[in-house]
Amino acid sequence: MALERTLILIKPDAMQRGLAGEILARFERRGLRMVGLRLLKVDRDMARQHYGEHEGKPFFNGLVKYITSSPIIAGVLEGTNAVAAARQIMGATRPTEAAPGTIRADFGLEVGRNLVHGSDSTASARREIAIFFAGERLPTWKRDVDPWVFE
């Protein structure tokens, strides 16, 4: 049971539809703790850095245009196996293939408008957190007390 951090992004379609609170609540109900949360408007440079692995692919420019189209919420979640847990809560990338009860199955229809992003590995999480929370000192939850306490 590894304590991990992961990045989530509540994307423009979720923000425009007023689903941010519901999405954050699902992660919290699962037991993941928020250690960072920002409302921001992603600029082109940040978007290109975030989606850098897709540069040169036919859908790259669409990704950049979409993520910069309205404010988003960037969050850092912490918990046991946080990367896998967050991805399970989100569901498959294609909403029509996502398991019932997941965010994408419950609220999404299109792969290009799938409401939420989550890091796909701990290495990706470290890289992505550095992009969206550069220079910020994120707190840690102490697990040796009940209830958990911020350090």
Asked if residues 71 and 15 have their Cβ atoms less than 8 Å apart, the reply is: yes
Considering only CA atoms, which of 62, 65, 57, 50 is closest in space to residue 118? 50
Q: Could you please report the per-residue DSSP string of 39-57?
A: EE---HHHHHHHTGGGTTS
Residue 50 designated active-site = no
Asked if residues 51 and 64 have their Cβ atoms less than 8 Å apart, the reply is: yes
| Catalytic annotation, pick one of 5, 26, 33, 117 | 117
Catalytic residue numbers, as ranges:
117
